[in-house]
């Protein structure tokens, strides 16, 4: 893959968006992708006993609080799956169907078709953060890391807690040799999702080099 570099001004804007992820919590191996059937109340309240009437599904804000406070990786991963299901809801049956097709195209290595479908999804639902994140993924697979990072920036404008987008940004920056900026993105992802194992490993592998360089 050709390692293009993004303009410093654009990178600064993206890292500023990542920085806003350090939000008050009263406010994506690869996580599940959009196109799944919206979760039932049972799925949003996994600890409720069978046969017991369940209350309203947890709000997204509450789920992020639970994600942040999780005491184990297993607990955090369960909450993260619920958040990802929420992110997968566009509010449009048409957009959801197109997203399913885009995911099928990516699985079939029809990257160009996937990008075209995601273009249409974004035109229909421009405020759907996950659509921008998914197009960033498709563009990265297509070998266009610059446009991928720009779409990550758009995803983070709409959902500044999107730890998957932050991880993606960090991975691209690291591949470009920008370890310091990659560390910023990874650490911001951990502020939202402290038990994110893949990101913890990325931070550990960079910590000695980046922190030692700054010392």
CB 196 within 8 A of CB 29: no
Residue 198, in any domain of the structure = yes
CA gap 92, 114 in Å, rounded: 18
Confidence band, pLDDT 50/70/90 cuts, at residue 58: confident
Is pLDDT of 49 > 50? no
Asked if 44 and 57 touch (Cβ cutoff 8 Å), the reply is: yes
Q: How many domains does the chain have?
A: 1
Residue 142's CATH number: 1.25.40.10
pLDDT digits (tens, 9 = 90+) for 133-173: 999 999 999 999 999 999 999 999 999 999 999 999 999 99
Domain span including residue 161: 8-19+58-214
- Give the 3-state DSSP-derived string for 100-161, with helices as H, strands as E and coil as C: HHHHHHHHCCCHHHHHHHHHHHHHHCCCCHHHHHHHHHHHHHCCCHHHHHHHHHHHHHHCCC
């Amino acid at each position: 893959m050709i390692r293009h570099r993004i303009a410093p001004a654009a990178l600064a804007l993206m890292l500023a968006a990542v920085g806003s992820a350090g939000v008050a919590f009263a406010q994506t191996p690869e996580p599940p992708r959009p196109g799944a059937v919206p979760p039932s109340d049972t799925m949003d309240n996994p600890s409720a006993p069978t046969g017991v009437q369940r209350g309203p599904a947890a709000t997204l804000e509450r789920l992020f609080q639970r994600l942040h406070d999780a005491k184990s990786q297993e607990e955090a991963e369960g909450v993260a799956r619920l958040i990802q299901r929420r992110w997968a809801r566009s509010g449009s049956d048409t957009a959801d169907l197109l997203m399913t097709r885009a995911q099928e195209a990516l699985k079939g290595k029809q990257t160009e078709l996937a990008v075209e479908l995601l273009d249409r999804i974004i035109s229909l639902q421009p405020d759907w953060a996950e659509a921008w994140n998914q197009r960033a993924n498709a563009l990265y697979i297509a070998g266009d890391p610059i446009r991928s990072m720009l779409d990550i920036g758009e995803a983070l404008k709409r959902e500044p807690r999107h730890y998957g987008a932050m991880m993606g940004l960090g991975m691209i920056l690291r591949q470009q040799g920008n370890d310091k900026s990659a560390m910023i993105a990874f650490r911001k992802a951990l502020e939202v999702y402290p038990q994110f194992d893949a990101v913890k490993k990325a931070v550990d592998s960079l910590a000695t080099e980046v922190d030692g360089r700054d010392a």
